Chains A and B, each alone.
Chain A
Amino acid sequence: MDVFTEYREQILAAFWLTIKLTVYSGAGALVLGTVLAAMRLAPVPMLRGIGTAYVNIVRNTPLTLIILFCSFGLSQTLGITLVDPRSTTSITDSNFRLAVLGLTVYTASFVCETVRSGVNTVPIGQAEAARSLGLTFAQNLRIILLPQAFRAVVIPLGSVLIALVKNTTIASAIGVAEAALLMKEMIENTAALLVVGVIFAAGFVLLTLPLGLMFGRLGRRLAVAR
């Protein structure tokens, strides 16, 4: 346990960064994913095509590749660093923001598919009633379908969020100092492999299990009674 006391500050900081990555990318992915879902349901074939293409491309690409693309491609080759180059912490900030961008882009495709499957659970009569009241597609989506759809997919969205928590570890590929990077560093420095493994596994269990329970309960409470 000496290892834990020695590294306590760093471990907490690393997991805090994991949480920050999750929150920022989760929020971004929720917005982008919902927009994509709306596009995939829209009356304009062009928008549907773009939505479908996005999901098919992103979902079939490894996250590591997307994150490396943000770093090597956007930042190093094209010079899109997302930060003010004069800032003293520009390199760390840039990596963090690029990781958030990559995670957002990747997770949005899963949010899109989840929301879309939620819209599919809403009974046909709801959309038909909305149409016969003269609501446009946008109104129909905003007032009738999405509120019911979101309530139906709370639990699957929870699974997406849990997967995102675990996926943040891949940000270590571009040097974001989150849990997996610290784990590697600690194993190399302390030789207490088992203890380090237990610490990090426990950390992720502590992060994901309560999330699962919380979303399970929330989903059951919010489920639309039909």
Chain B
Amino acid sequence: MTTASVLFDAPGPRARVRNRVIAAATVVLLVAVAWLVFSKLADRGQLDAAKWKPFLTGNLWRTYVLPGIRGTLTAAALSVVGAGVLGALLGVGRMAPPAWVRVPCAVIVEFFRAVPVLIMMIFAYFLYAQFDVFPSKHLALAGVVTGLTLYNGAVIAEVVRAGVAALPRGQAEAASSLGLSWTRTMRSVLLPQAITSMLPVLISQLVVVLKDTAIGYQITFVEMVRQGTQVGSAYGNYLPALMVIAVLMIALNFTLSWLAVRVEARLRRSRRAGEPLEASTALEAGD
């Protein structure tokens, strides 16, 4: 069932009228809700120019929003690199023939997928604070990056495993009949092919990482959402500030999600690569 149109008949004259009535009713409902929201906002003075004007000043962006964006992007970039490395190691380790490698890797992966990111961040933050591992300026960043790296590393490990499992069995069989060792098979045959099919999922995982940097709000990390609340308390406009931050965040993530779907479609068309993993799998669970 690839198209929705299988679910209902092509609308005849009566169905078309009915659909229009439903559409019209929805519009009326939407307008009513919008009016309610706007009147409520206007009542509380949230639509006053004074609440929105600060967003036109460079000062607000320089002092609050841009540092927030920088924090979010820095944390996301560091975590993605860390998670990629950790995920590759754990994923390959989980497929390794000797049990003393495979089992610990499996336990680590399952553990970090079961524990909430916030718990890991809080733990890492206080751990680093206690042992003075990082200068206090970078403490929150280190906590955020640690939490995100561990969690997303575990997720990427599973993606790597799925990517390798999705390859035709003949690939591994041909490699071993050529006398390649397991390590060599992995490195020169399976992983390079798996990476292409993993690409869409990896890009959508980037959205998860970007979103999750906001969890750092709770360990005082300077990221977009925290800076949004700072704007709110400085200018007394929480609602407009959070709305602006939401729009920025959605635009960024939406572009990335769109890119992931495009890459998936592109890989599906090309005959060289194996079957790509679906871009949406990363986001489906709601992390």
Q: Which residues in A have their C-beta under 8 angstroms from that of B66?
A: none
Q: Which residues in B have their C-beta under 8 angstroms from that of A20?
A: none
Known: A73-B239, A73-B242, A166-B117. A145 touches B7 (CB 8 A): yes
Q: Per a CB cutoff under 8 Å, which of A56, A117, A137 touches B8?
A: A137
Cβ of B116 and Cβ of A131 under 8 Å apart? no
Asked if A12 CB lies within 8 Å of chain B CBs, one says: no
A interface residues, how many (CB within 8 angstroms): 73
Cβ of B215 and Cβ of A183 under 8 Å apart? no
Asked if A209 CB lies within 8 Å of chain B CBs, one says: yes
Q: Per a CB cutoff under 8 Å, which of B23, B130, B284 touches A45?
A: B23
Q: How far is the CA of A164 from the CA of B130 in the complex (A)?
A: 31
Interface of A: prevailing SS: helix
Cβ of B22 and Cβ of A47 under 8 Å apart? yes
Q: Which residues in A have their C-beta under 8 angstroms from that of B15?
A: 43
Q: Which of A38-68 contact B (CB under 8 A)?
A: 40-41, 43-48, 50, 56-57, 59-65, 68
Asked if B173 CB lies within 8 Å of chain A CBs, one says: no
Q: How far is the CA of A188 from the CA of B130 in the complex (A)?
A: 11
Q: Per a CB cutoff under 8 Å, which of B114, B225, B257, B284 touches A209?
A: B114
**Stretch of A83-91, A92-100, A169-177 that contacts chain B:** A169-177
Q: Which of B197-237 contact A (CB under 8 A)?
A: 207, 211-215, 217-218, 225, 228-229, 232
Q: Which residues in A have their C-beta under 8 angstroms from that of B280?
A: 113, 117
Asked if B31 CB lies within 8 Å of chain A CBs, one says: no
Q: Which residue of A lies closest to B15 (CB)?
A: A43
Asked if B132 CB lies within 8 Å of chain A CBs, one says: no
Cβ of B284 and Cβ of A60 under 8 Å apart? no
Cβ of B119 and Cβ of A77 under 8 Å apart? no
Least CB distance from A99 to B in Å reads 13
0 or 1 for each of A62-82: is its CB under 8 Å from B? (1 = yes): 111100110011001111000
Q: Which residue of A lies closest to B219 (CB)?
A: A184
Asked if A36 CB lies within 8 Å of chain B CBs, one says: no
Cβ of B2 and Cβ of A64 under 8 Å apart? no
Asked if A27 CB lies within 8 Å of chain B CBs, one says: no
Q: Per a CB cutoff under 8 Å, which of A50, A77, A120 touches B46?
A: A77
Cβ of A204 and Cβ of B285 under 8 Å apart? no
Q: Which residue of B lies closest to A193 (CB)?
A: B126
**Stretch of B159-167, B184-192, B248-256 that contacts chain A:** B248-256
Cβ of A72 and Cβ of B229 under 8 Å apart? yes
Q: Per a CB cutoff under 8 Å, which of A64, A123, A193, A201 touches B214?
A: A64
Q: Which residue of A lies closest to B3 (CB)?
A: A124
Asked if A147 CB lies within 8 Å of chain B CBs, one says: no
Q: Per a CB cutoff under 8 Å, which of A50, A79, A127, A183 touches B1?
A: A127
Least CB distance from B48 to A in Å reads 12
Q: Which residues in A have their C-beta under 8 angstroms from that of B284?
A: 110, 113-114, 117, 156, 159-160
Cβ of A204 and Cβ of B115 under 8 Å apart? yes
Q: Which residues in B have their C-beta under 8 angstroms from that of A117?
A: 280, 284
Asked if B60 CB lies within 8 Å of chain A CBs, one says: no
Q: How far is the CA of A204 from the CA of B257 in the complex (A)?
A: 29
Q: How far is the CA of A48 from the CA of B19 in the complex (A)?
A: 12
Cβ of A44 and Cβ of B115 under 8 Å apart? no
Q: Which residues in A have their C-beta under 8 angstroms from that of B114?
A: 162, 166, 204-205, 208-209
Asked if A224 CB lies within 8 Å of chain B CBs, one says: no
Q: How far is the CA of A162 from the CA of B242 in the complex (A)?
A: 28
Known: A145-B7, A187-B126, A193-B126. A60 touches B249 (CB 8 A): yes
Least CB distance from B235 to A in Å reads 13
Q: List 7 A-B contacts (CB under 8 A).
A: A41-B4, A43-B11, A69-B242, A72-B238, A169-B116, A205-B115, A208-B114
Given contacts A62-B211, A72-B232, A122-B1, 5 further A-B contacts (CB under 8 A): A44-B22, A59-B257, A65-B245, A113-B283, A209-B110
